[in-house]
Structure 1
Amino acid sequence: MSGLTEDVAVRLALAARALPEEIETRDLVLGILEAVGEPITSAKLNKIRLGRLKRIDVLANIDESYLKEALNFLKGRNIKREPEPLPEVVDYEDGDMPQSVRVACASNSGDKIDGHFGSCKRFLIYQLSGEEMRLIDIREPEAVDDDEDKNVARAQLIDDCRVLYTISIGGPAAAKVVRAGLHPIKLPQGGCAPEVLLRLKETIAGSPPPWLAKAMGQDPEQRARYREEAGA
């Protein structure tokens, strides 16, 4: 099942397990692929109906009770997942990491950047320099009243950061983030926060673009002097 997202792979595996033993996982996947087309996505699985399952050749003679249970799994229902453990926060005091920048990552699970700015469960807060990276805080947005602006509240929660990584952020929300002093970066495919930030760390250690040098509180001349003094 290469090329499938983790969510789709879990749904297919559990659906196959709910069917009689003579139904191989591979045959189910091929049948689903024929029914919904390539690629198999969560959105496509959500739209499958019982009647469509019955028309898949390998499932044609399977008792409906099995098909209903498999269908629930295909749609992502009744799936209990253990939450990924959160990464460990490391002690940090202002001044510990010279020439560093604070970064917020929109996250729903573990150390992944997999959340939308407006709906993510938490923000992972990293302090990052050219030499070191530390997770210094994990912040969970609180519920806001109907008359409050959720996006403004979220921006204020991370307004000590200068960079925001998120899989998605709307235009109006992005404007509020920028007004709070952050530079939003969209990663539609997401990623593991330490791996993504490692690339930013290497950029900081090398020659950061003007917007990043500014986020670190440096003007271009200051950066050039720093690199000369460091022997770069």
Structure 2
Amino acid sequence: MTNGIITKTAALRIALAARTLSEVNMGGLVAKLGDHLGLPITEDKLAKVTVADIKLILSGEETVDPDVDGATIKLAVRHLWGQSNEADNLPELDSYTEGDLPGSLRVAVASNTEENLDGHFGSCPRFLIYQVAREEVRLIEIRPTVLADEAEDKNVARAELINDCQIVYVQSIGGPAAAKAVRANVHPVKVPEGGKVRYTLQRLQRVLDAPPPWLAKILGVEAKSLRQFAESEDE
């Protein structure tokens, strides 16, 4: 027991949950959980916390990222329950050597669980890194974010962690974090509904031959829509 207020194991769980919730102060979260659950805070009490409880606790909390999403809150609750995200079934990597798939894009995906696009840029425990070509998609790396979160500005560190990627898919991202990703030359794409990563990347593959303007800029080619406009002008 820590000063009769909280057990050591409970304190660790709350620290992990606070880190997941991005800008939440651990001390403030302990105080609010204590008010909500009663003292001392124990593992048994934390195991009964629900997503609705956390939303209630965070309501009116000025330090919380206003773009915090449901998937992030669910992950925080899992930490409070003592279910480590590292126990998830992570996908297997595909064989890849640098230079394979010429002309392909490198894409990062914010992920909380398995091979899912279900993470907030500022709190996901990992980025899944893919090489995406017109005919093939390969998962080439899984990059944990734990070291980036020790930096003074963790969103800058997270952007630097994936700065060899042209695109990062996220379920949600705040405006300041998006600006930091762009400064690292990584284009953020929000997919609020989330889902299976491979499905999202298949949709990306389908537009590679006729990319919209934002993707054409990344690829360094002329957007098909703009080319058609130029041809009509010539006529």
Q: How would you bin the TM-score normalised by the shorter chain?
A: 0.5 to 0.7
Residue 195 of structure 1: CA displacement? 1.0
Superposition pairs of residues 75-94 of structure 1, within 5 angstroms: 83-94=87-98
Q: 1:164-210: CA deviations, max 9, x gaps?
A: 11111111100000011111111122111011111111111x31112
What's the C-alpha RMSD, in Å, of the aligned pairs? Answer: 2.9
What is the alpha-carbon distance in structure 2 between the residues aligned to residue 184 and residue 146 of structure 1?
A: 22
Structure 1's 146 and 45: CA in aligned 2 closer, same or farther, altered over 3 A?
A: closer
2:212 to 162, 186, 209: 209
* Residue matched to 1:166: 170
Structure-2 change in CA distance of 1:93 and 1:218 (3 Å): farther
CA distance in 2, matches of 1:87, 1:200: 20
**Which of the numbers 132, 141, 150 marks the counterpart of 2:145?**
141
Aligned equivalents of 1:47 and 1:143: distance in 2? Answer: 27
Gaps (5+ residues) in structure 1? 1-41, 49-74, 225-232
Shift of 1:119: 0.5
How far does the alpha carbon of each residue in 1:49-104 deviate from its partner, in whole angstroms, 9 at most, with x for none?
xxxxxxxxxxxxxxxxxxxxxxxxxx977585893311111222232112211110
Query: Could you tell me the TM-score, scaled by structure 2's length?
Result: 0.58
> 1:145 & 1:208 partners in 2: Cα distance?
34
Match in the other structure for 1:110: 114
Amino-acid identity (%) = 51
2:167, 2:187 within 8 Å by CA — same for their partners in 1? yes
- How has the CA–CA distance of structure 1 residues 171 and 46 changed in structure 2, closer, same or farther, with 3 Å as cutoff? closer
The answer for the alignment partner of 1:129 in structure 2 is 133
SS at match of 1:120: coil
Change (3 A) 1:201 1:145: closer
Look up the SS of the partner of 2:207 in the other structure. Answer: helix
Residues 97/108 of structure 1: CA separation in 2 closer, same or farther (3 Å cut): same
TM-score normalized with structure 1 length: 0.58
